[in-house]
Amino acid sequence: MEADGFVRKRRMTAETAGSDAGVAGASAGAEVRWLGGRFWGFSESIVSSLTPRIGGESQLESVDVVCAAQDAQIEDLEPDYECLPQGASTSTHMLAGAVAGIMEHCLMFPIDCVKTRMQSLQPDPAAHYKNVMDALRRIVAAEGVWRPLRGLNATAIGAGPAHALYFASYEKLKKTLSDTIHPGANSHLANGAAGCVATLLHDAAMNPAEVVKQRMQMYKSPYRGVLDCVRAIWQREGPAAFYRSYTTQLTMNVPFQVLHFMTYEYLQELLNPHRLYNPSSHMLSGALAGAIAAAATTPLDVCKTLLNTQESHALSSSGQSQGAHRQISGLVHAFRTVYRLGGLQGFFKGVQARVIYQMPSTAISWSVYEFFKYGLTKHQHNNMRIQHIKAEG
């Protein structure tokens, strides 16, 4: 009797959450308005503090030594932004990375919602989609215009610090390792190794946000909002649930980022050999690098989605809804479940949505990152020249 009552209660909760598009729409709309207010304030703070503080005359002289040859020849030209960050603080890369990460995830969030649903192993009959556009049309028509944006604020909160660590550590390690392995030239080994370490830090910060985001993106998600989702996961599954997919995430993202960074740097050598600020080359290199890495790592992404969502239909179909093991845990268990329910094709569910998501996503990320790095560096360079003029005058 207690079990029947529990099942009826859960069914009523899911049906209510799934059918009440107004509640879901209001929740997602509130998240978007909240995020908009925070991002506006954050943007104002960036505009007002574009230039990192310069540590004094000694730092100024060290930067000038690095770029003295260029300054003598191109006094009135644009500064070499790949050279100048050697004298800038790590906060330059962290700030540029945080803005790039937030913009990347927020702009592509509706496609990410579609990807999560299309990777469902046992979707509800009403959640079978032909392609990405069909999924977006049906989600908006059946569940409201704000439904594809549920969980956006959780993603933005996680993406800022995650990408700040990601880009700052990558830039620092790439230079250090390149100078050691292949002084004075680009090293693919250094790029790959730096990408691996950057991924470890990024995923450690981003994994809890990924869990909450994907739970809220699923069809008939029973959660009223981000805090309700966090509270429910914590109470029912414990804090470890927020890192249940961490090893799988690393297993996926390490090869993803190695392919991503190596492809990006290789394409930059071809398209932008002098490493000038060139938005079109950054966008094209980022898009192609993201597409190749995304397609190659889709099977691991399907397993990660299953571990994050603990899809109820998959649990019941695999016999895990009762007994001692109530969750799918670990990469091996996820692989077995995906193969049992979907065969080899199951490992490539949502590949179209994943590639469509990653191409503009990585293009936006690299373009915004390089733009902010260029802007911050140019501003710092101009300030240093003004200080020199004042000192000499």
Q: What whole-number distance in Å separates Cα of residue 362 and Cα of residue 360?
A: 6
Using CB atoms within 10 Å of the CB of residue 148, give its burial: 0 to 12 exposed, 13 to 18 middle, 19+ buried.
Answer: buried
Q: At what angle do helices 246-271 and 279-296 cross, to 10 degrees?
A: 140
- 0.95 exceeded by the pTM? no
Q: Return the structure tokens found at 80.
A: 């070499």
Comparing CA positions, the residue from 226, 217, 224 lying closest to residue 20 is 224
Conformation bin of residue 281: beta by default, left when phi > 0, alpha when psi is -120 to 50: alpha
Q: 10-41, pLDDT tens digit by residue?
A: 444 444 444 444 444 555 555 545 555 554 45
User: Residues 315-362: pLDDT tens digits?
Assistant: 666 555 444 456 787 888 888 889 988 899 989 998 999 999 899 989
Whether pLDDT at 162 is above 90: yes
Rounded distance between C-alpha atoms, residue 137 and residue 115, angstroms: 14
pLDDT in the model for residue 33:
56
pLDDT in tens, 243-299: 988 888 888 888 888 888 889 989 999 998 888 888 899 999 999 999 999 999 999
Please tell me the predicted confidence (pLDDT) of residue 210. 92
Q: Is the pLDDT of residue 80 over 90?
A: no
